[in-house]
Structure 1
Amino acid sequence: MQRRMRGWTWIGGPLLVVLGLLHAGGHPARAQSEPRVEARVSAESVKIGERFTLTLVAARAADRDVMFPGVDAGSAVFGDLHAVRRGAVRTRRPSTARRVDSVAYEVTTFALDSARVPVLPVRLASGGDTTVVGTPPQTVPVVSVVGPDAEALRTPAALIPFPRPAWAWGLLALLTAAALGGGAYGWWRWRTRDEEAPDETESEHPYEAASARLRRLERRHPSGDEAAKAFYVDLTEALRVYLVRRVGVRALEQTTAEVVAALRRRPEVRDATIRRLQAVLEQADLVKFADAQPSPAESRSVLEEAQAVLDALEATRCRDDAQATDDTPSSA
């Protein structure tokens, strides 16, 4: 019996070691396929108004594209940090299956005691799918700029009173009366103009307003990086405002994927129109968030496609309005 137990121990020991190595070896491979993002701050502590560097690093599979936040994202993305400028995206390939991208932001802060660095969103795109991965939040200490002799500081003394001449009071009264009179006249003129002519923005049809904004974009030449971003921001805003006013989709506060999902829940909107709108919005996202630089010819093509999508959406709405009008007498 003891000899049999020694045989099982001799065979089972190496077998358990091999199984343990196989089980442990699966985790690094799976961990390497998952994306990892992190935010790095160049200083352990900063002063108020001092500029320092915030670096975002994204490690992911080589077949996925990365989109970092724009420098104009504001406090909604950067929290207590104010982004001044953004550098170019740097890429290195540790292996054929992995790629590491990084981008550096020159930032500053005016927070007291500590600056909050929130979860910074990094978009990863693969085919038609987009995944948002956030960096861990962190806090940067903000040191005081008051010197070590702060205890010797004193409050300012009271000002020495000087008599003011009488003509200064008269001039001040005259200027005050003129300002009040001018303000009253301006208010009266504004009220009169408001009563005579209605607000053109509110009275203008959503389709006409969106088409007018797209026509104004035809005169622009988005040849540079900033010009291209401004061009595509205005283009997508025209479409999103139309979707809010005419279709009832909260497109101004939704991502491209959320807008597409909301339209798919509306059976009256055709799938072909939704796919064309998705292509326009995704092309604009690449320019705004991934620093894509299309040629002026490509931008004109996207603008023409945006107008075609707008025409298709308006035709659907007009058809539904006409059908609703025809159904009203029959239901009565």
Structure 2
Amino acid sequence: MQRRMRRWTRINDRFLLVLGLLLVWGPPAGAQPEPRVEARVSADSVRIGERFTLTLVATHAADRDVIFPRGDGGSVLFGDLRAIRRGAIRTRRLSAARRVDSVAYEVTTFALDSARVPVFPVRFASGGDTAVVGTSPRMLPVVSVVGPDAEALRTPAALASFPRPAWVWGLLGLLTAALLGGGAYGWWRWRTHDADAADDPDPEHAYEAASARLRRLERRHPSGREAVKAFYVDLTEALRVYLARRVGIEAPEQTTAEVMAALRRRPEVRAETTRRLRAVLEQADLVKFADAQPPPTESRSVLDDAQGVLDALEATRRRDEAQALDDASSSP
């Protein structure tokens, strides 16, 4: 018996000696502590819908890469929490062999009484090996929005009436005026709209398009420099577009003298028609380039002359077309 007791005493002394050496010199070379992960919350309790911060802290070997959960994991990953966004990963060196990585999530919760902070898996990669370590779950108290002394929800009281300030009535007046003005403008645009004729590029309908534009000018009573100039610009544009589409003269890009020269080379156009057209274009040039201000009665007379020129040119074109058809039908 004494021999057995002496043997156990020697084994115990050796164990204590090895344990003491480990405490003095630390673990054997090459041994690495296991990675450690914890979840930290920025508040001891939160309110429903209140934003707070959840931080995952991983302490691990320096040669391992840490992979934190994404911020779009949903309720499967975040449990009772809702992630709003994830911040950047921050790293802090503890020593040459150890470091701490952390990442912060901005979260909220709509749970009642308490919210469950679940286990968050964090992966550690080193070469081709990957280890997964989870955080410890916990319950986070959720403070009720209704105070403890509220026995029941009460019907809200009627809103007190306050007199409206003067600026409110002024704003309503401006809005009313704007609506009336917009309606009047829309009605005027509808009355003056003749898109079927004016926007048709077909040469066969050039006369109808030009006549429609001149009829719209009959409803205008130009007075003032800008209004008169706009009136004559529209008038001459109607004639020049007709000449380009129907007569074959590049009138929109030509001066009045060039248009007259081109018409004189057209023997089918009567000299009287050319003279009347020159008078209309020259009057318009005085308004557009010399700031002439003819009275409304004179502008109406010029508009009548423009319509007369348009009628004469169209009559000539139709006569020539009819003659061409007769010649084609009579030829063998």
Sort the TM-score into its range (normalised by shorter chain): 0.3 to 0.5
Q: Which has the higher contact order (CA 8 A, sep 6+)?
A: 1
- Who wins on radius of gyration, i.e. which is larger? 2
Q: Normalised by the size of structure 2, how large is the TM-score?
A: 0.41
Q: Normalised by the size of structure 1, how large is the TM-score?
A: 0.41
